[in-house]
Amino acid sequence: MRISVFGLGHVGAVTGACLADSGHDVTVVDADLAKVKRVQDGHAPVAEAGLEERVARAVAQGSLRATTDCAEAVMNSDLSMICAEASLPEHLRAVCSRIGVAIRKKEPRHGVVLRSAGVPGTAHSVAIPVLEDCAKMTAGADFGFAINPEFFRDGTAVHDYFNPPKIVIGALDEKTERAVSTLYEGIDAPRVITQIGIAEGVKYAEDAWHALKSGFANDIGRLMRTHGIDGRKVMDILYADQGMAPAQGAAVPENLWTLLCAACAVEKKSLAAVRKCMDAAGNPVVRSRLDAHLLETRWQIKLLDACLDIHGVDKEVLAVEASAVVPALSRENLLTIKRAEICLYERIISLARKQRAPDVQQACREILEQERTMAEWIEDNHAILSIPFPAAA
């Protein structure tokens, strides 16, 4: 099937690459030219275990392309999957308006699938009205519409794509329902065909449920620590009862403070990687730039720690959750770590904006700018670097 995937964040990048690697003809779309260029060059736009090789393979085979041109992507596909951030209505409206305008000029009938999570009611209050208004058509009759939520976890999203706990499809029409179901041929998972609102509600409720369990585990950790007890061991024993254990395929809800703790952990890995690079570098220009970034990284760690302290975050309690956010980075090189940091800070800034934490937003914007500059320097000067950027400790 010919598919256009909108958004090159974690959901879009993984969905697009896995669909292309499964034999579909995929065009991924994003306004960020840097991300588009990375995919065009055969590289993953986000850090995720197993994603780089799938993107490289699909691009080499010609089954995965990337563009900033929305109309071109729609015209050359039969189904569009929206993986942009549905939790931000203005963002979703912008994507749906562009798709709607493109659909108006297209024959034959096109299908639109909302894959990103939003609050229940987002499809009927935002996505469908905007698509209908811009396309001058009726959803379910003149063009197809469906909800197909993802259940990805950070660090194992590629594995989760092929091993989901369930496949949930809510559609306005049978043709779109069948088209979406066809995408998962060969994947062994329960399939649930339901109404659009229920499909939205399932994703929202599951994220809320896991957030509740996460909060409970943190509270138990704090309580146990006051008595000198290791709360993690308590929870490990509790989870030995499979009825109490977290669902393995469920999406991990993003918690601002957990992600900030994760950012600290990644910066420390970056610090170790920079030191190793400096030890191996013979070029004085390279050593000078790495030394400058070493100072930047130390400052970044102090800034992140200050944000956590100001907000009274118990870093020890969140350490386990934070380590699960970036499990694939322990053997990666410095450039990959820089890319992971960029993605992580983009997500933190988005969450901080929604949770009204302007100090966190500002701090992470400053760090993000430094990380982008460093990543660009590594890529631009790769030819003159005398070392292959060794793995972090």
* pLDDT for 104: 92
Domain limits for position 232: 211-246
CB atoms within 10 A of CB 243: 5
Residues of the chain with pLDDT under 70: 86-88, 210-212, 214-215, 239, 241-254, 317-333, 382-393
151 and 291 share one domain: no
Q: How far apart are CA 118 and CA 283, in angstroms?
A: 50
Q: How far apart are CA 30 and CA 43, in angstroms?
A: 15
- The two structure tokens encoding residue 350: 């988005």
Distant-in-sequence, close-in-space partners of 185: CB < 8 Å, separation ≥ 6: none
Which tens digits make up the pLDDT trace of 23-69?
999 999 999 898 999 999 999 988 788 899 999 999 999 999 999 99
Query: Would you say residue 173 lies in a domain?
Result: yes
Query: Would you say residue 347 lies in a domain?
Result: yes
The CATH number of residue 304's host domain is 1.20.1260.10
* pLDDT for 350: 79
100 and 150 share one domain: yes
DSSP structure string for 204-216:
HHHHHHHHHHHHH
CA distances from 93 to 97, 111, 180 (A): 6, 17, 22
* pLDDT for 249: 38
Which tens digits make up the pLDDT trace of 362-387?
899 999 999 989 988 887 776 655 44
Query: Would you say residue 319 lies in a domain?
Result: yes
Give 333's Cβ-side CA count (13 Å radius): 9
Note if the pTM is more than 0.75. Answer: no
Which tens digits make up the pLDDT trace of 269-295?
888 888 887 777 777 888 888 889 999
131 and 28 share one domain: yes
Query: Would you say residue 204 lies in a domain?
Result: no
* pLDDT for 332: 52
- The two structure tokens encoding residue 281: 């570098």
* pLDDT for 55: 95
Q: How far apart are CA 33 and CA 139, in angstroms?
A: 31
Please answer whether residues 192 and 166 qualify as being in contact, where contact means their C-beta atoms are separated by less than 8 angstroms: yes
Query: Would you say residue 54 lies in a domain?
Result: yes
Roughly what angle, to the nearest 10 degrees, separates helices 196-226 and 231-238? 130
Query: Would you say residue 40 lies in a domain?
Result: yes
- The two structure tokens encoding residue 333: 């090189």
Domains of the chain: total: 3
* pLDDT for 366: 92
Query: Would you say residue 352 lies in a domain?
Result: yes
176 and 296 share one domain: no
Q: Residue 354: which H helix or E strand, with range? A: helix 334-354
237 and 268 share one domain: no
Q: How far apart are CA 316 and CA 218, in angstroms?
A: 10
Query: Would you say residue 206 lies in a domain?
Result: no
